[in-house]
Amino acid sequence: MRDIIFAKYSSERSADFAIKTVITLENGVKRVEKYPLSEKAAAHVQKMAENRDKINAFYGGAGLKAAPCEVINKGVAFDYIVGETFEEKLEKCGSINAETELMTKLRDRLYALSGDSFERTAAFDEVFGGTELPNGLHAGAFCCFDLAFGNIIIDKNGESHIIDYEWCFDFPVPVEYIFYRAVKLYVVISGRNDLIEAGIYEKLGFGEDAAQCFDSLETAFQAYIRGDVMSLRDLYSGFEKKNYSLPEIMGMIHSKNYAQVYFDRGSDYSEDDSYRVETDGKVSLEIALTGEVKACRLDPLEEYCAVFIEELTAESNGRKYVPEFITNGARTGNVIYFDCDDPLMIFDKLEEGTEKIKIDYSVSKLTKQQVQGAVKLLEDNRRKDVEAAEINAKLAQKTAEYDIKSAQFEDMKNLADERQKVIDQTLEHVKNITGIFESEKTVLINEKNRLINEKAALEAVLAQREKYISDIENSRAWKAITKMRSLMGK
């Protein structure tokens, strides 16, 4: 069975780049799949598979290789690489000096691949604008642009993989800008003001002027991605009157929070087809679904949080059932931990005729560190459960093998006992026969001795008789008789 365990919609983009990213689990194997949200983005998605071989050829010299990727129906699928991200390695360094040293080593590996001087092209200006850049920049003919530290994973064998290569360009882009961008993403997303105070940019060779130029390139790049789509960022920068940051607004409305419900009527989700519900920590929603609604999406909050689902039902033709959903959070039982500021639950497997979804849940705001700690604990527990299951499976296998061997041994023992019994019976029979033979032998010996004695006695008698006859024949009387008989003709 194929399950979707994570989903992310990159819809605040130009239609040429709007995509959906999901993580699937099938037969124990995870994959990362990317699909276009419209036909216009199909070429953008297909190009990712082409980038794989280019990355291996260009970045192999720096010990980096692309996560395996293949074209699938209307999208591409990446192998799910298990390991530690470069970002996580940095977080474990324990000191700013150690972090700086680790980043410097990666910088030197990347810079070594791009020894040619950067030459500006029309393709570059189309994507990154016309900002004037400092001299002395370097670039290669190809680049994987989004080398964010979270996109580099080191597996158990120590091999480094680039896991997301959506943004690659076949024209020169300054490697200094690419690495600066990766550093800034790490610093800003992690809230590492301590690195800024320690002068991390200067330590890595980025002066204030270069940083400003690179920030301008980033602004142009984001505008290129968004195209004509009006995002919250565009709205914020376009106001003529005073702008308030989201934290300021949240403070003004006494930290009110909202859940938001989106509907997909065949053309994906949009702000225009959604509504918001204020929440004070507990939410009870009854989401009405009309006939043309294909799916719906619930954003329980707009920041890192934990959600406890108290009740979840759907109703179809008067019958209630528990609807399935996918989420980009880490789920354990009825609790979901969201390690992002855009939590979502997507109900896209509704039974035909479903009229409404009822959900009651409690939501608690958490810090990024709290959520990551909880998610890590869940992952550790799941890993231990998997390891325990594997051990139990091996134990069950060994037990079964032992039972088989034990049964075989018992059979062999019984056979040996039967054979020993036959041997004992045979020996007893031989013993009995031997006794009979011995007895008969004794009789025969006695008979032989008797006959010998009898023969000796007869021989003695015969000898006596022969001597008697001899004595008679040698006597004078016998001789006179013999002579007389001869004269008488007798």
What CA–CA distance (Å, rounded) separates 201 from 220? 21
Tokens (6 digits) for 137: 């920049």
Together in a domain, 206 and 353: no
176/273 same-domain check: no
Q: DSSP label at 39? A: G
What is the number of alpha carbons within 13 Å of residue 337 lying toward its C-beta? 17
| Residue-range definition of the domain harbouring residue 79 | 47-226
Is the Cα dihedral 232, 233, 234, 240 positive or negative?
Answer: positive
Residue 209 within any structural domain of the chain: yes
Mean pLDDT of the chain, nearest integer: 87
Give one DSSP letter per residue of 357-412, joined into a string.
EEEEEEEEE--HHHHHHHHHHHHHHHHHHHHHHHHHHHHHHHHHHHHHHHHHHHHH
- Closest C-alpha among 64, 70, 263 to residue 154: 64
Q: Which two tokens stand for residue 112?
A: 């070594």
- What's the pLDDT tens digit per position in 318-328? 899 999 999 99
Residue 158 pLDDT > 80 = yes
Q: What is the dihedral of CA 466, 469, 470, 473, to 10 degrees?
A: -160
Distance of CA 253 to the CA centre of its chain: 45
Task: Give the pLDDT of residue 1.
Answer: 74
Inside any domain, residue 419: no
* pLDDT tens-place string over residues 12-38: 899 999 999 999 999 999 999 999 999
Taking the CA atoms of 201, 204, 208 and 213 in sequence, report the sign of the dihedral they define.
Answer: negative
Residue 355 inside a domain? The answer is yes
Length of the chain: 490
Give the domain CATH number at 213.
3.90.1200
Assess whether pLDDT exceeds 50 at residue 367: yes
In 10 A of CB 264, how many CB atoms? 18
**Which pLDDT value is given to residue 346?**
94
- Beta-strand relationship, 160-162 and 64-66: parallel
Does any domain span residue 165?
Answer: yes
Q: Is 62 a member of any domain?
A: yes
Which of 226, 260, 289 represents a domain boundary (last residue)? Answer: 226
Whether residue 179 is predicted with pLDDT greater than 90 in this model: the reply is: yes
- Which residues, 6 or more positions from 147, have their beta carbon under 8 angstroms from its beta carbon? 110, 162, 178, 179, 181, 182
Is the torsion defined by CA of 140, 76, 298, 343 positive or negative? negative
pLDDT at residue 320, rounded to an integer: 92
208 and 104, same domain (yes or no): yes
Pair (72, 136) in one structural domain: yes
d(CA 104, CA 183): 11
**268: helix, coil or strand?**
coil
Query: Hey, is 88 helix, strand or coil?
Result: helix
E-assigned strand segments in 38-159: 64-66, 69-72, 75-79, 84-85, 143-144, 152-154
State mean pLDDT over 240-254. 45
**pLDDT in the model for residue 190:** 82
- Give the pLDDT confidence score for residue 361 in this predicted structure: 92
Q: Which two tokens stand for residue 122?
A: 């029309």
Domain check: are 62 and 148 in the same one? Answer: yes
Q: Considering the entire predicted model, what is its pTM?
A: 0.54
Share of the chain above pLDDT 90, in %: 50
Q: How far apart are CA 108 and CA 399, in angstroms?
A: 54
Reported as half-sphere exposure (CB side, CA atoms, 13 A), residue 483 has a value of 6
Question: How many domains are contained in the chain?
Answer: 2
In this prediction, residue 229 carries a pLDDT of 59
Q: Which residues lie below 8 Å from residue 63, measured CB to CB, with a gap of 6+?
A: 109, 159, 160
In a domain, 269, yes or no: yes
Which of the two residues, 138 and 247, has the higher pLDDT score?
A: 138
Question: Is residue 91 included in any domain, yes or no?
Answer: yes
**Quick check: 88 pLDDT over 90?**
yes
Question: What is the reported pLDDT for 235?
Answer: 43
Strand order, beta sheet including 295-299: 274-279, 257-264, 295-299, 345-347, 326-327
Say if CB 153 and CB 89 are below 8 A apart. no
pLDDT digits 0-9 by tens, 437-476: 888 888 889 888 988 988 888 888 888 888 888 888 788 7
Instruction: Answer whether 356's CB lies under 8 Å from 314's CB.
Output: yes
Q: Tell me: do 219 and 277 sit in the same domain.
A: no
Instruction: Among 176, 211, 226, give the residue marking a domain's end.
Output: 226
Identify the CA nearest to 261 among candidates 325, 322, 336, 333.
Answer: 325
Mean pLDDT of 168-173: 96
pLDDT at residue 352 above 70? yes
Mark which of 309, 338, 366 sits at the end of a domain. Answer: 366
Reported as a single tens digit per residue, the pLDDT across 106-131 is 999 999 998 899 999 999 999 999 99
Q: Is pLDDT of 238 > 80?
A: no
Whether residues 270 and 214 share a domain: the answer is: no
Is residue 99 domain-shared with residue 219, that is, in the same domain?
yes
Q: Kindly give the pairing relationship between strand 354-365 and strand 282-288.
A: antiparallel
The pLDDT score that the predictor gives to residue 4 is 86
What six digits make up the tokens of 279? 């929440």
**pLDDT tens-digit profile of 279-328?**
878 889 999 987 688 899 999 988 899 999 999 999 988 899 999 999 99
Residue pair 8/20 in contact by the 8 Å Cβ criterion: yes
pLDDT at 247: 47
Instruction: Evaluate whether residue 273 is within a structural domain.
Output: yes
Q: How many CA atoms lie within 13 A of 34 on its CB side?
A: 25
Is residue 93 domain-shared with residue 166, that is, in the same domain?
Answer: yes
Contact by Cβ (8 Å): 85, 65: no
Single-letter residue type at 376: K
Confidence class for position 253, pLDDT limits 50, 70, 90: very low
Please tell me whether residues 216 and 284 are part of one structural domain.
no
The alpha carbon of residue 252 and the mean position of all alpha carbons in its chain are separated, in whole angstroms, by: 46
Question: What number is the average pLDDT over the span 89-101?
Answer: 94
Contact assessment for residue 36 and residue 19, using Cβ atoms and an 8 Å cutoff: yes
Average pLDDT over residues 205-212: 94
Q: What is the pLDDT of residue 273?
A: 87
Sheet with strand 64-66: strands edge to edge:
64-66, 160-162, 152-154, 84-85
Pair 166, 311 in one domain: no
- 120 Rama sector, left if φ>0, alpha if ψ -120 to 50, beta otherwise: beta
Both 84 and 213 in one domain: the answer is yes
Contact 266, 292 (CB under 8 A): yes
Is the model's pLDDT at 335 over the cut of 50?
A: yes
CA distance 305 to 414: 66
Over the Cα atoms of the chain, what is R_g? 50
CB count within 10 Å of CB 62 equals 16
Give yes or no for residue 250 having a pLDDT over 60.
Answer: no
Distance separating alpha carbons of residues 88 and 67, to the nearest angstrom: 18
